[in-house]
């Protein structure tokens, strides 16, 4: 049988390259139209002492983008951008030291094993290949030790770190990004960050406590059911009580510095990210011969569903939802394994012997296909074309039930963050990042409410795709006009500059400061592969 299937426009749904200029052209155009406003600017600090800014967080704080921690990404991380604004005349900001990775391309955390096998090729950050369109890796470098003075660091962003990891002594044994900057292998991250004695701090943690589980397609354990799994499987969905205890300890540790103040950023709606949206639910194109051959291969399965209806094991409606039927042309949903489907055992012989049917169905608009599946669909990995003869497994699909679990836990964690911040008597202000995402994703207020977003996010949800700033409509993707990097999760430099402005807005509004906003024009989006 011919298995030359076509992955039909897997990235086209979110990426509109044909109408976009290159990044360099966009930057040049915006610089001409928006001269740098930071020339001879001044500001005031309000009630905040910005002389020692300490940033605590995960990959978002570290500046990981394009699936790698590399020099340019670190330089364009939102804490680095904030530190520059704090150094404007009158604001009083001090020196800001980051744990430089000293690598142009870094270490790709999506492709490479950690630690890599001896002699293995090391891949670096992604760049955007317009011919796909999609990301392609560069040549990378191993994660090297930090060569500077650890005691002078201001940025404690650790890729891969959950909130519950930040309070674990000896976490450096499990995370090489922390190992490269730890002062002692016995330290916890928050212990080291608090020791830096920040007069002002930002905390952006909690995303990985849900993101890692979502990135596993919901195949990892749930910490509410198995709390011990968190100790051995970093993809476990974090237990609510453990999250509460850890986040409270993090904020209290940063506030242990007398008169310190800070901003806590909550968790964005991760299932709106391109990682979950770039591959449509129906990406397969087939010719008539292949469609007929596939339907013939699933005939016994479909007949078994009909038998289950006849034997009153399932309803006709359920059988229709589970039948596999492919057609010639584009727009075919893939075949997936859905563990949430009911068990079906039918009688197959007069002697009463039975057969149990597999839990198969085709993907629907309610399913989210994870970004990595794009490189597997239609490929023969040993059992026929993946997503067709070889059904896609749970780790590449986030079903509706799994999305509900993610969004419910995320909303719970954000409520916990809100309550902890509210208990600090004004020393910590909350940045709700969800209104920005609701706006740029084009959600309606009703959709924002369904995702458990705040009232502010529901009000910002205008139903129009894109975020209009300074006359430019920024997109929720990794196109040249997007704010997300090519890994589909982390912001690009432009996205980080937008986050920095949101932090400045909260500082000015809560602490009486007057810090000028960041000029977005010089910040790039994605880098195009040659």
* In the chain, domain spans: 46-95+143-278+401-511
- Express each pLDDT in 132-176 by its tens digit: 888 999 999 999 899 999 999 999 999 999 999 999 999 999 999
Nearest to 198 by CA among 57, 30, 305, 327: 57
Tokens linked to 480: 């040249």
pLDDT in the model for residue 525: 92
- The answer to whether the CB of 265 falls within 8 A of the CB of 503 is yes
pLDDT of residue 19 exceeding 80, the answer is no
CA gyration radius for the chain? 25
Range of lowest pLDDT (183-187, 204-208, 407-411, 509-513)? 183-187
What is each CA distance from 22 to 130, 378, 381, 525, in whole angstroms? 10, 31, 36, 10
The residue to which tokens 């959950």 are assigned:
162
**Residue linked to tokens 């995960």:** 58
Pairing, β 6-7 against β 284-286: antiparallel
The percentage of the chain sitting over the pLDDT mark of 90, rounded to a whole number, equals: 86
C-alpha separations of 385 from 12, 289, 357 in Å: 22, 15, 21
H-type alpha helices, 49-144: 59-62, 71-75, 78-86
Structure confidence at residue 4 (pLDDT): 36
Report, as an integer, the average pLDDT of 250-265.
98
pTM of the model: 0.91
Q: What is the pLDDT of residue 25?
A: 52
Average pLDDT, the chain: 92
CB 80 within 8 A of CB 63: yes
Give the pair of three-digit tokens for residue 485.
Answer: 């990097």
Average pLDDT over residues 331-359: 95
What pLDDT was estimated at residue 155?
A: 98
Query: What is the per-residue pLDDT across 182-208, written as a single tens digit (0 to 9) for each?
Result: 989 999 999 999 999 999 999 999 999
Which position has the token pair 């704010």? 483
Judge whether 225 and 215 are in contact, CB under 8 Å: no
Instruction: Give the contacts of 428 (CB within 8 A, at least 6 positions apart).
Output: 251, 255, 261, 262, 263, 264, 421
Q: CA–CA separation, 436 vs 490, rounded Å?
A: 15
pLDDT in tens, 27-38: 454 444 444 544
How confident is the model over 202-225, as pLDDT tens digits?
999 999 999 999 999 999 999 999
Torsion-angle region of 524 (φ positive above 0: left; ψ -120 to 50: alpha; else: beta):
beta
Express the helix, strand and coil content of the chain in percent, nearest 5 each: 35, 15, 50
Task: State the pLDDT at residue 60.
Answer: 98
Q: Is the pLDDT of residue 14 over 50?
A: no
Position 34 scores a pLDDT of: 47
Coil, helix or strand for 65? strand
**Which residue shows structure tokens 């990891």?**
165
List, for residues 462-475, the tens digit of each pLDDT value: 999 999 998 899 99
Band the pLDDT of 340: cuts 50, 70, 90. very high
Give the H or E element holding residue 407.
helix 400-422
CATH superfamily, domain at 46-95+143-278+401-511: SGNH hydrolase (3.40.50.1110)
- The closest of 375, 441, 518, 496 to 64, measured between CA atoms, is 496
pLDDT at 36: 52
Determine which of 64-78, 122-136, 318-332 has the lowest per-residue pLDDT on average.
122-136
Nearest CA to 437 among 417, 454, 413, 422? Answer: 454
Angle at 151 between CA 420 and CA 425, to 5 degrees: 20
User: Tens of pLDDT along 57-101?
Assistant: 999 999 999 999 999 999 999 999 999 999 999 999 999 999 999
Give pLDDT, residue 39. Answer: 58
Cβ neighbours, 10 Å, residue 337: 15
Quickly tell me which residue has 């055992």 as its tokens: 345
Specify the pLDDT at position 117: 86
Across residues 496-523, what is the average pLDDT? 97
């Amino acid at each position: 049988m011919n298995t030359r299937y076509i992955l039909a426009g897997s990235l086209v749904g979110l990426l509109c390259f044909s109408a976009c200029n290159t990044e360099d052209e966009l930057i040049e155009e915006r610089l001409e139209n928006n001269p740098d406003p930071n020339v001879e600017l001044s500001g005031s600090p309000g009630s905040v002492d910005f002389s020692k800014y300490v940033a605590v967080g995960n990959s978002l704080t570290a500046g990981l983008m394009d699936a790698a921690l590399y020099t340019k990404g670190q330089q364009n991380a939102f804490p680095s951008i904030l530190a520059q604004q704090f150094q404007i005349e009158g604001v009083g900001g001090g020196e800001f030291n980051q744990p430089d990775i000293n690598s142009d391309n870094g270490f790709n955390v999506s492709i490479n094993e950690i630690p890599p096998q001896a002699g293995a090729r090391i891949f670096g950050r992604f760049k955007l290949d317009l011919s796909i369109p999609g990301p392609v890796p560069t040549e990378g470098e191993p994660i090297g030790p930090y060569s500077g003075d650890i005691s002078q660091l201001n940025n404690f962003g650790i890729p891969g770190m959950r909130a519950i990891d930040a309070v674990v002594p000896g976490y450096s044994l499990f995370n090489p990004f922390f190992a490269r900057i730890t002062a002692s292998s016995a330290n916890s991250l928050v212990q080291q960050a608090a020791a830096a004695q920040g007069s002002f701090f930002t905390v952006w943690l909690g995303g990985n406590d849900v993101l890692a589980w979502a990135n596993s397609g919901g195949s990892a354990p749930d910490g509410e059911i198995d709390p011990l799994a968190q100790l051995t499987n970093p993809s476990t969905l974090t237990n609510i009580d453990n999250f509460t205890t850890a986040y409270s300890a993090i904020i209290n540790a940063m506030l242990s510095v007398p008169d310190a103040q800070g901003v806590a950023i909550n968790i964005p709606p991760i299932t709106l990210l391109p990682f979950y949206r770039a591959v449509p639910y129906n990406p397969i194109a087939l010719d008539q011969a292949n469609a007929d051959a596939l339907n013939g291969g699933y005939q016994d399965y479909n007949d078994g569903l009909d038998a289950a209806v006849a034997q009153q094991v399932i309803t006709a409606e359920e059988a229709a939802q589970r039948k596999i039927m492919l057609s010639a042309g584009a727009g075919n949903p893939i075949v997936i394994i859905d563990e949430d489907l009911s068990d079906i055992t039918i009688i197959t012989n007069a002697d009463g012997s039975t057969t149990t049917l597999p839990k198969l169905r085709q993907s629907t608009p309610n399913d989210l296909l994870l970004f990595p599946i794009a490189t597997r669909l239609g490929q023969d990995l040993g059992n026929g074309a993946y997503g067709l003869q070889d059904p896609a497994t749970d780790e590449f699909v986030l079903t509706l039930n799994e999305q509900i679990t993610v969004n419910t836990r995320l909303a719970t964690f954000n409520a916990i963050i809100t309550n902890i911040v509210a208990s600090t008597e004004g020393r910590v202000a909350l940045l709700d990042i969800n209104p920005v995402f609701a706006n740029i994703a084009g959600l309606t207020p009703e959709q924002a409410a369904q995702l458990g977003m705040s009232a502010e996010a529901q009000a910002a949800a205008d139903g129009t795709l894109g975020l209009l700033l300074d006359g430019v409509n920024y997109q929720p993707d990794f196109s040249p006009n997007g704010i997300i990097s090519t890994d589909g999760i982390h912001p690009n430099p432009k996205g980080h500059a937008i986050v920095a402005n949101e932090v400045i807005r909260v500082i000015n509004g809560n602490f009486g400061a007057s810090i000028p906003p960041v000029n977005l024009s010089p910040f790039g989006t994605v880098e195009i592969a040659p």
